[in-house]
Amino acid sequence: MEFVIISVIGVLFGCGTYLILQRHLLQVVVGLSLYSHAANLALLVSGGLKRGNPPLLTTDAPYVDPLPQALILTAIVISFGMTAFATVLAFRVRQVYGSDAVDELAGGEE
């Protein structure tokens, strides 16, 4: 099972990279979201997949490793905050800068 998910992670990373390299800010934001989904899946894989019940002590052992889940939860919240900020930023760039094309944001090195 791990290898299936690892392949999916690879695909998500590929798609994310492709989107981040696009011209449109919205695509970049979506690309970053794909990145974080993929990273969360990677964390999930690190605890092993389909190797036990949910780590609720009311159910029966064996349980899966609860730590990656806790880490992912933290990561989800953080990336939610980041994505929210990035989205509003992109939208403000569109408003103030008048463009949401990434290559029009070039410059500023001189």
Partner 1 sequence: MNGVPGFLLISLILLPLLGSLVAWPERWRQRLAPAYSLVPILQLLIVSSFWTTVQAGEGIQCSWPWAPSLGLYLSFSLDGLSWLFTGLISGVGVFVFLYAAFYMADDPTLARLYRFLLLFNAAMMGVVLADNLVLLLVFWELTSVSSFLLIGFRSQRAAACEGASKAFGLTAIGGLVMLFGILAVYAEHGTLELSVLLADSTSISTATGLCFLVAAFTKSAQFPFHIWLPSAMEAPTPVSAYLHAATMVKAGLYLIARLTPLFADDPTWSATVTSVGTITLVWGGVLACKQVDLKALLANSTVSQLGLIVVLLGLQTEIALFAAILHILNHAAFKGALFLTAGTVEHETGTRDIRQLGGLRPLMPVFTVAATLASLSMAGLPPLGGFLSKELFYEGVLEADLLLTILAVAASCLTFLYSFIFFHGTFFAPALHSPQQQPASPHAEQHSTLGLIAPIVVLSGLAVLFGLVPSLAEALVMPAFRVIHGAPAQFHLALWHGLTPALGLSALTIILGGSAFLLRQRFLGAIRERQAAYSFNRLYADSLTGFTRFFQWTRALYMTGSVTDYIRYLLVALIVGLSIPLWHFFEETTLRVDIVRPEYYELGLAGLMAVAGVMCCRTHSRVVLVLSLGLVGSLMSIFFVLFSAPDLALTQVLVEAVSLVLFLLVLHYFSVIGSQPQAPRTRLLNIGMSVGTGLLVSLLLFAANVGPSLPSAIPPYYLSNSYLLAGGQNVVNVILVDFRGFDTMGEITVFSVAVFGVLALVGLGVRGQQPLGTLFMFSFPSPILQSFARLTLHLMLVFAIYLLLRGHNAPGGGFIAGVLTAVALTFQMMAFHTENLLREMPWKPLQIVVVGLLLAAGTGLGSVFIGYPFLTSAIGHYSFPLLGEVELATAMGFDIGVYLVVVGTSLGIIRAIAED
Partner 2 sequence: MMPPDLFVLFVIGPVVTAALLAAFHKWDTFQRGVSLAVSLGLWGLSVVGLLSLLQEGQQGMVVLRMGNWAAPYGIILVADVLSMTMVVLTMTIAVAVVAFSLRTVEQAHQEHFYYPLFFILIMGVNGAFLTGDLFNLFVFFEILLIASFALLALGSQPGQLRETVKYVVINLIASTFFLISLSVLYRTMGTLNMADLAHKIQTTSGELDSTLTILSLVFLFVFGTKAAIFPLYFWLPGPYFQPSAGLSAFFGGILTKVGVYAIFRTFTLIFRHNPALTHELLLILAALTMLLGVFGALSQMDMKRILSYHIISQIGYLMLGIGLLTPQALAGTLFYMVPYVLAKSALFLIAGVVQAATGSTHLKAVGGLQSHSIPLSALFLLAALSLAGIPPLAGFFSKFIVLQAGMEIGRYGYVGIGLLGGLLTLASMLKIWNGVFWGEETGDRRPVSLWPLFPGIILLVFFIVGIGLFPGILYSVAQTAAAQVADPRVYIAAVLGMQD
- Binding of partner 1 at residue 103 (CB under 8 A)? yes
- Distances in Å between the alpha carbon of 22 and those of 19, 38, 53, 89, 102? 5, 19, 41, 17, 8
- Binding of partner 2 at residue 45 (CB under 8 A)? yes
Q: Residue 16 burial (CB < 10 Å; 0-12/13-18/19+)?
A: buried
Q: Which residues bind partner 2 (CB under 8 A)?
A: 20, 25, 28, 32, 35-36, 38-40, 42-43, 45-47, 67-68, 71, 74-75, 78, 81-82, 85-86, 89-90, 92-93, 96-97, 102, 105, 107-109
